[in-house]
Amino acid sequence: MPALTPIRPEINQAIARVLDRGIFLRGPEVAAFEKEWAAYCGQTYCVACASGSDALTLAAMALELREAEVQANSYHMTALGLARGGTRLSLVEIGADGRARQASPRLVPVLLYGRFPSAAESDCILFDAAHAHGWRPPATVCWSFYPTKNLGALGDAGGITTNEKFIV
């Protein structure tokens, strides 16, 4: 049985609502998702966007992030998203645990394999939590809802959650 079979009627109803309204971008379903995802993450705001990479670009621009460090074992789309937002990047070495050897305030931790931030990473201002759905972050976070993620869309999608009004 395909994985979507149990929820197929709900998916069909949601698709029919969107088609019947004719509002394909930024419609009521997106607004409802943003509200529910922000609440689930324990944050005030959520901005949905096209992809996790776009979320990183938009967050870097909103935070005016001029320089950042990314761990060397992360997927290149993290670095690309930040660079498109005007951020100058450096790669940092990783330790045996797969995390950056030293966390600095400039680090944008990539929470690989669903791991939550370490104590050393907790002061960072931006996180790539593409693999850590379910984490309740204290900072601005970029999420990916690519179909293969823990919470996947029917196509590519991303979002930013934050308590910072200036990002919205």
pLDDT digits (tens, 9 = 90+) for 29-57: 999 999 999 999 999 999 999 999 999 99
How sure is the predictor about 114, in pLDDT bands with cuts at 50, 70 and 90?
confident
Alpha-carbon distance of 120 to 146, in angstroms, equals 28
Q: Rounded to an integer, what is the distance from CA 71 to the centroid of its chain?
A: 17
Q: If you average pLDDT over residues 138-158, what whole number do you get?
A: 86
| pLDDT reported for residue 151 | 78
Q: If you average pLDDT over residues 112-131, what whole number do you get?
A: 89
C-alpha to C-alpha distances, 32 to 27, 29, 52, 160, nearest whole angstrom: 9, 5, 19, 15
Q: Which long-range contacts (CB under 8 A, 24 or more apart) does 144-147 make?
A: 144/51, 144/52, 144/53, 144/55, 145/52, 146/51, 146/52
Q: Is the pLDDT of residue 154 over 70?
A: yes
Q: Rounded to an integer, what is the distance from CA 124 to the centroid of its chain?
A: 15
| pLDDT reported for residue 167 | 65
The per-residue pLDDT for range 77-100, each reduced to its tens digit, is 999 999 999 999 999 999 998 898
Helices (H), 7-165: 8-21, 28-40, 52-62, 76-84
Sign for the CA dihedral angle at 100, 129, 165, 63 comes to positive
The per-residue pLDDT for range 63-72, each reduced to its tens digit, is 999 999 999 9
Whether the predicted model's global pTM rises above the 0.75 cut? yes
Q: Is the pLDDT of residue 168 over 80?
A: no
| pLDDT reported for residue 53 | 95
How sure is the predictor about 106, in pLDDT bands with cuts at 50, 70 and 90?
very high
* Residue 114 per-residue DSSP state: G
Q: Measuring CA to CA, which residue among 118, 165, 153, 159 is closest to residue 141?
A: 159
**Which tokens hold the place of 82?**
């930040």
Q: If you average pLDDT over residues 129-139, what whole number do you get?
A: 89
